[in-house]
Amino acid sequence: MILCSDTEPYIAVAIAPVRRQHFCDVLRPFQFGISPRTRRDYTKQIKRIERDFGDFPIKALDDPRARSEFLDWRDQLAKASLRQADYAYGTLARILSWAHNRGLIAKNPCAKVGKLYHGTRVNKIWSDEDVTRFLRTAPPYLRLAMLLAINTGQRQGDLLRLPWSAYNGTEIKLRQRKTGAYVPIPVADALKAALDAAPRQSPIMLTNSEGKPWSESGFQGAWGKATMRAGIRGLTFHDLRGTAVVTLARAGCNEVEIYSITGHKPGDVRAILTAHYLPRDAEVASNAIAKLNRYKTARGDQKEDENLPTALPTALKIANVKTEKS
């Protein structure tokens, strides 16, 4: 630990507003749309920072060795979890950024540091077989959760809070907590059948075995057990959101149509499909070839393909000759 005079203020001064006013005052740019779960996650990281650096002198932040001190701390955390190490370090960087912007500290030694964890969700897609197996083995109250997720592409938190009043028999209307986006979703036939048959034991649509609304931890625990029972490994409820995007794309929906269901921005849908989910997707490739075959069959001019030029056009030949002479 970098030492400094005992009379110097400590880094706890920058963290203190977290205790007094909640972390949203520290992370002001991120305070809107933060879910209760995210608040709890940040609070957990802040407590860890207070425990490890609450007596770290603020003046020492100007020392060139401070950056190394914090990186060593992150590297120690990384021995247990790369993602948690990134989360903790990122939270500290945001706190110090807040303090720097308000003149409490002269510099932020944690700024502009890359992440340790570089995950990909390319393979994190529920196959049709996975979904079928889950629906066959899970209890009814979790089957409804699956059908809601796979047919709407909404986040777990939004679905767990979804009231029956949001369903009018033909569509579900909800406002996403994270983005604030208002999303009216026409209900697919399979989902409509499940909703119409489901018992309404609570104002909230999804309930546990006792007919009471889920807590997030309770739902996650029950969902994890159900996936294990179905023999499904490495897939989470969150992966159903991306799966819904992929399923809609496989059905031939364009980006805007997908966005109208899931609430993503069109650019975000494009990013999901091109960067995370659909590269080398065999089903999409098969759909493309099937469309090509239907197009050629409908056109009925396969023989005309034989008349297509097999040599370079004359203009190109002449251009090449002139280039060679010159």
d(CA 217, CA 214): 8
Neighbours of 29 (CB within 10 A): 9
What domain range is 273 assigned to? Answer: 128-280
CB 205 within 8 A of CB 162: yes
Are both 290 and 272 inside the same structural domain? no
Does the pTM exceed 0.85?
no
Residue 201: inside a domain? yes
* DSSP-assigned states of every residue in 134-158: HHHHS-HHHHHHHHHHHHH---HHH
* Per-residue pLDDT tens over the stretch 31-62: 545 666 777 888 888 889 888 988 888 888 88
Which residues, listed in sequence order, are joined to residue 186 by a DSSP beta bridge? 171
Q: pLDDT-derived band of residue 6, with 50, 70 and 90 as boundaries?
A: very low
Are both 273 and 291 inside the same structural domain? no
> Per the structure block, which two tokens stand in for 98?
């807040």
Residue 120: inside a domain? no
Q: Among 101, 116, 136, which residue terminates a domain?
A: 101
Mean pLDDT on 55-75: 91
**Residue 175 pLDDT greater than 60, yes or no:** yes
Q: pLDDT-derived band of residue 22, with 50, 70 and 90 as boundaries?
A: very low
CB 121 within 8 A of CB 239: yes
User: What confidence score (pLDDT) does residue 231 get?
Assistant: 95
Question: What 3-state DSSP class applies to 42?
Answer: helix
Mean pLDDT on 167-181: 89
Dihedral of CA atoms 199, 204, 209, 215 in degrees, nearest 10, equals: 170
Backbone angles phi, psi at 186, to 5 degrees: -60, 140
Mean pLDDT on 126-145: 95
Are both 204 and 69 inside the same structural domain? no
Are both 48 and 135 inside the same structural domain? no
- The DSSP element (H or E) to which 195 belongs, if any, is helix 189-197
CA 150 to chain CA mean position, Å: 15
Residue 109: inside a domain? no
User: What confidence score (pLDDT) does residue 50 get?
Assistant: 85
Contacts of 282 (CB under 8 A, 6+ apart): none
* DSSP-assigned states of every residue in 255-318: HHHHHHHH---HHHHHHIIIIII-TT-HHHHHHHHHHHHHHHHHHT-GGGGGGS--S--HHHHH
Nearest C-alpha neighbor of 250 from the set 290, 292, 284 = 284
Strands 182-186 and 171-175 turn out to be antiparallel
Number of domains the chain contains? 3
d(CA 97, CA 101): 6
User: What confidence score (pLDDT) does residue 258 get?
Assistant: 87
Are both 269 and 250 inside the same structural domain? yes
Are both 93 and 196 inside the same structural domain? no
* Per-residue pLDDT tens over the stretch 206-230: 999 999 999 989 999 999 999 999 9
Residue 1: inside a domain? no
Residue 289: inside a domain? yes
Contacts of 19 (CB under 8 A, 6+ apart): none
Q: pLDDT-derived band of residue 23, with 50, 70 and 90 as boundaries?
A: very low
Are both 186 and 289 inside the same structural domain? no
Residue 293: inside a domain? yes
Nearest C-alpha neighbor of 33 from the set 42, 24, 44 = 24
Burial group, residue 266, by CB count within 10 angstroms (0-12, 13-18, 19+): middle
Mean pLDDT on 266-274: 75
* Per-residue pLDDT tens over the stretch 295-308: 888 887 555 555 55
Are both 16 and 76 inside the same structural domain? yes
Residue 6: inside a domain? no
User: What confidence score (pLDDT) does residue 2 get?
Assistant: 45
User: What confidence score (pLDDT) does residue 306 get?
Assistant: 54
User: What confidence score (pLDDT) does residue 181 get?
Assistant: 81
Contacts of 123 (CB under 8 A, 6+ apart): 234
Are both 264 and 297 inside the same structural domain? no
Are both 236 and 172 inside the same structural domain? yes
Distances (CA, A) of 85 to 18, 98, 290, 302: 20, 20, 46, 60
d(CA 206, CA 84): 30
Are both 76 and 142 inside the same structural domain? no
Q: Which residue has the higher pLDDT, 17 or 103?
A: 103
Say which amino acid occupies 202.
Answer: S
CB 124 within 8 A of CB 235: yes
Q: pLDDT-derived band of residue 280, with 50, 70 and 90 as boundaries?
A: low
CATH number at residue 275: 1.10.443.10
Mean pLDDT on 152-160: 94
Are both 255 and 197 inside the same structural domain? yes
Say which amino acid occupies 112.
Answer: K
Residue 94: inside a domain? yes
Mean pLDDT on 263-269: 78
